[in-house]
Structure 1
Amino acid sequence: MDFGTEFKPLTVQPQEIEGLSFKMIDEEFGEHPFSQDEYKVVQRVIHASADFDLGRSMQFYPGAVEAGIRAIRNGEQVYADVQMIESGVSKGRIEKHGGSVNVFISDKDVMEEAKRLNTTRAIISVRKALKQFDGGIYAIGNAPTALLELIRLIKAGEAKPSLVIGLPVGFVSAPESKEELAKLDVPFITNIGRKGGSTITVAALNAISLLAEKA
């Protein structure tokens, strides 16, 4: 291998890099069962992870993407389980319609209540989100306990989210929480298995906000 040869990128223009990446994804991913809008989400998930198996593992409730688009355009709020999602999301496309991205996991009252009840901050932050707003988009990419608590509240009739993006990563309860989400009769975007994470959740949410902007 000749390490003396200087490597030059194909392009340094951001839009060209993204366009070329998506073209490569399309060519390698090939035929798929996803709708046009669902594939936009899958495409960005793969773009964020370079993981085609993760892309193929994505699952969508019928009309889930359209439900997310409506929620954003109607100015509904977004709840995220961790700050990393808030940092990565293109908030401008959500805020222009009156929505915002909310994270409660580090709030003082959440930390105190979690300590008092000897439970996770993720669980308490979901409960706080439910008190703050009706409907909305719940974007969970880190904490399976947050997703499981949301599922419990949905089953109890206490939560009626417009869309659940449930993509927590991990070994303990992450695959199971997504399996339980996929059984619900609510709009959801999830995947099968241990893979996922905040970056993947951001990619899915950004894809939906882009579709909302073009709708």
Structure 2
Amino acid sequence: MTRVVHPIEQESYRILRSRVDTSHLPPLTRAVVERVIHASADLDYLDETVCQEEHLAAAVRALRAGAPIVADVEMVAAGITARRALCRVREASAGDGLTRSAAAVRLALDEVGPGAVWVVGCAPTALEELIRLDARPALVVGMPVGFVGAAESKEHLRASGLPSVTNRSEKGGSAVAAAAVNALLYAV
């Protein structure tokens, strides 16, 4: 099915490209960065987003092959528009030193196993738990927001060597994390 782009979205991208030059970016990186900027109206994401084209290409191949998408919270799952995302935060319980979001990562991993695309836009604790586990993801979109642990969890993700899309500050959130994965899904 071909995606129909609304004229308002087309105009938004025209304005975005008039304000910032993304033409030097590889195609999938450009798609991710532009969609994140579009979702946030924050041009800083051009310089702040960290990803590698080969990781994005591998994620697109995994998504084409039916890899599951797992979201840390329901707001992230709701923002992923091209495919249903799994979120187990409602079923999870905090305890044993884990937040509900971190416990939900464990529940979801037991369900989906390796090769999933993980999308974290809210909970730094979910991202930290995912890094600790042997999830063997196709990709981790790690863009949690906040002043407590968000920047540090993203730094840990970059240091982990896992294939990822992330950013370098406290900024992030459900909308930008979902936007990053939507950009890849639209490429599928």
In the superposition, the TM-score normalised over structure 1's length comes to 0.80
- Number of the residue aligned with 2:41: 50
Task: State the 1:63 CA deviation.
Answer: 1.2
What's the secondary structure of 1:168's corresponding residue?
coil
Matched AA of 1:59: V
The counterpart of 1:126, out of the listed 105, 117, 122, is 105
Task: State the 1:62 CA deviation.
Answer: 4.3
- Number of the residue aligned with 1:103: 87
Superimposed CA distance per residue, residues 89-116 of structure 1 (whole angstroms, 9 cap, x where no aligned partner) = 11xx43xxxxx41100111xx22xx24x
- Using the alignment, how far apart are the partners of 2:46 and 2:30 within structure 1? 9
Task: State the 1:118 CA deviation.
Answer: 4.4
* Greater CA drift, 26-35 or 144-153: 26-35
The counterpart of 1:25, out of the listed 13, 16, 21, is 16
Runs of 4 or more above 6 Å deviation = none
- How has the CA–CA distance of structure 1 residues 32 and 131 changed in structure 2, closer, same or farther, with 3 Å as cutoff? same
1:65 aligns with 2:56: yes
Gaps of 5+ in 1: 1-13, 95-99
Superimposed CA distance per residue, residues 47-72 of structure 1 (whole angstroms, 9 cap, x where no aligned partner) = 11110013320000341211221121
The counterpart of 2:161, out of the listed 176, 179, 185, is 185
- Number of the residue aligned with 1:148: 128
- The percent of aligned pairs where both chains have the same amino acid is 38
**Match runs of 1:168-207 below 5 Å:** 168-207=144-183
Q: How many residues align?
A: 183
Task: State the 1:25 CA deviation.
Answer: 0.9
What's the secondary structure of 1:165's corresponding residue?
strand
**Structure whose alpha-carbon radius of gyration is higher:** 1
CA RMSD of aligned residues (A): 1.5
Q: Does structure 1 retain, via aligned residues, the 8 Å contact 2:22–2:30? A: no
- Using the alignment, how far apart are the partners of 1:57 and 1:118 within structure 2? 31
- Using the alignment, how far apart are the partners of 1:36 and 1:56 within structure 2? 16
Task: State the 1:32 CA deviation.
Answer: 6.4
Task: State the 1:36 CA deviation.
Answer: 1.6
Task: State the 1:137 CA deviation.
Answer: 0.5
Task: State the 1:38 CA deviation.
Answer: 0.5
Task: State the 1:152 CA deviation.
Answer: 1.3
What's the secondary structure of 1:125's corresponding residue?
helix
Q: Does structure 2 retain, via aligned residues, the 8 Å contact 1:137–1:163? A: yes
Gaps of 5+ in 2: none
